[in-house]
């Protein structure tokens, strides 16, 4: 699975920011406007208990307890990070399927698109928080999912 999320996620985040607050409980739509950029340049392989990222200068594996950094296994101390990664990747895939093509908005599916965007927004914001915790705890680690917030 190769996810290039910049072009897909940002329009969805914008849609979520405009969505009615009752559209989904996954995220506060007002917070979605904080998302500036989301990028995942690496190839992704989702295993049963591990996520592998390879390519584009990234070669790391992450599970609930540890990550592989420079060929060595390092405890990251944040099982929420792994859960947030899996949620983010699952929502990215689900959102892409639900709103593909983007013309769905114009076919009377605006509420569904807004709900998908709001779920995706929640996944991005949660991953941004847990990524920051792990990056602070593991010197030299940079999350393979690069999220920039305002």
Per-residue pLDDT at 28: 75
Tell me: the pLDDT tens digits for 78-100? 999 999 999 999 998 888 777 66
Tell me: the pLDDT tens digits for 25-77? 456 777 888 999 999 989 999 999 999 999 888 899 999 999 998 789 999 99
What is the distance between the alpha carbons of residues 124 and 145, in angstroms, rounded to a whole number? 9
What is the distance between the alpha carbons of residues 27 and 62, in angstroms, rounded to a whole number? 25
**Measuring CA to CA, how many Å separate 122 from each of 28, 67, 118?**
8, 23, 6
Confidence of residue 103 (pLDDT cuts 50, 70, 90): low
- In the beta sheet, which residues pair with residue 39? 146
Per DSSP (E only), the strands in 31-109 are: 35-39, 43-46, 51-55, 58-62, 66-69, 72-75
Tell me: the pLDDT tens digits for 10-30? 444 444 444 433 333 456 777
Domain extents in the chain: 6-144
């Amino acid at each position: 699975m190769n996810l290039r999320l910049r072009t897909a996620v940002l329009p969805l985040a914008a849609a979520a920011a405009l969505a009615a607050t009752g559209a989904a409980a996954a995220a506060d739509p007002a917070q979605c406007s904080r998302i500036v950029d989301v990028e995942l340049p690496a190839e992704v392989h989702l295993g049963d208990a591990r996520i592998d990222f390879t390519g584009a200068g990234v070669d790391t594996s992450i599970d609930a307890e540890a990550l592989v950094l420079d060929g060595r296994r390092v405890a990251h101390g944040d099982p929420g990070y792994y859960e947030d990664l899996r949620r983010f990747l699952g929502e990215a895939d689900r959102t892409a399927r639900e709103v593909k093509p983007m013309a769905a908005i114009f076919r009377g599916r605006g509420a569904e698109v807004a709900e998908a965007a709001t779920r995706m927004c929640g996944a991005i914001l949660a991953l941004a928080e847990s990524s920051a915790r792990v990056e602070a705890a593991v010197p030299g680690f940079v999350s393979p999912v690069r999220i920039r917030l305002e």
